[in-house]
Amino acid sequence: MRCFRPQSSRAADEVYKGQASQSQQVSRDVRDAGEAGAQQGSKHQLSRIMRPDDANIVGNVHGGIILKMIEEAGCIIGTRHCNTQNGDRCLAALVRVEKTEFLSPVFIGEVAHVTAEITYTSKHSLEVQVKVMAENILTGAKKLANKAALWYVPCSLQNVDKIMEVPPIKYDSTEKEEEGRKRYETQKMERLETKARIEEVVPPPPNPDDLPKEKHSVGFSQSSLIHLVGPSDCTLHNYVHGGVTMKLMDEVAGIVAARHCNTNIVTASVDAINFHRKIMKGCVVTVTGRLTFVSNKSMEIEVLVDATSLVEAEKGKYRAVSAFFTFISLDKHNRPLPVPPLKINGEEEQRRFEEGNARYLHNKAKRLAEKQQQ
């Protein structure tokens, strides 16, 4: 007995073939565009309107939301660029975020335009520079809200521990290439220097009932967040998106700052965020923040991310990410307020305070030098 296909089924097959052919053509177009972009300095832009769930109670968009968008744009352009060559498919993994300045607040109803551009490539890493513009779509006014530089490495989809080679880009001039090489060497050295201090696992924060009665001390404001890593937090490799981690870090730092000041606070800047080890799906992460330095106008908060696998608990807790966040205190009109002095208890807190003061003076001198150059 012979079976005949219905005419509708044959028509569907033709549609499927057409869709497959179209999909292949789109893939070729994307690859060709990526190859052209690699020679010209490719860019990628994300745009999204800021909603109430992106902001705090006074309407300022959380710094963690902006950091997450920055990382998403960097991951897209980095992954697209690294897959313009033959070989294993790969995903760009975030390993470091350079000092990030929050230049202007972003408010509910504004549109954040995040533009990412590849500015340097080494054999196994690439630098992506990102700018965030905030647009008021009612008035048309625009302002530069944020700028950052991120470093990625391409990890093979077949083996997460295998680092792929990065296709080179063409530079506008030899000076641009040399400047990028200097930035690469500097961040490489700084990452090595931070390894010496990541082995120390921060003890759990004190029980609220045991906190010092004295306000404005380190122990009074120290805070932690515990989070179970789920599928929605992860990349195709089943490890946590860098942007998800940064958002959690900003939230904890914000809690510490608010407890110290008891006012509205906003993220002013973030010192280099170093991603030391990957955090896999199913891990429990503990994000701990503690004050390390306070000036009359700002607060420096050290944020450390420790991870423990629920499946392989015998491996113990390890340091995954570390960074320093700077917050400022604002009144109801978004004007800066004086920050209460930090009360120091013990030699360890004194040591961290002195190191924070050195970073504060260094960053202040650096900003003055940049202004003079402009």
Hey, which residues are catalytic here?
Answer: 56, 250
Max alpha carbon distance in the chain (Å)? 91
CB 295 within 8 Å of CB 360: yes
CB 99 within 8 Å of CB 272: yes
Q: Which amino acid is present at 368?
A: L
CB 44 within 8 Å of CB 112: no
DSSP string, 285-324: EEEEEEEEEE-SS-EEEEEEEEEEESSSGGG--EEEEEEE
Report the alpha-carbon distance of residue 96 to residue 187 in Å, rounded: 8
Q: How many CB atoms lie within 10 A of CB 147?
A: 18
Q: Which amino acid is present at 149?
A: A
Token digits of residue 69:
């968008």
Report the alpha-carbon distance of residue 309 to residue 90 in Å, rounded: 24
Report the alpha-carbon distance of residue 161 to residue 366 in Å, rounded: 37
Report the alpha-carbon distance of residue 279 to residue 369 in Å, rounded: 38
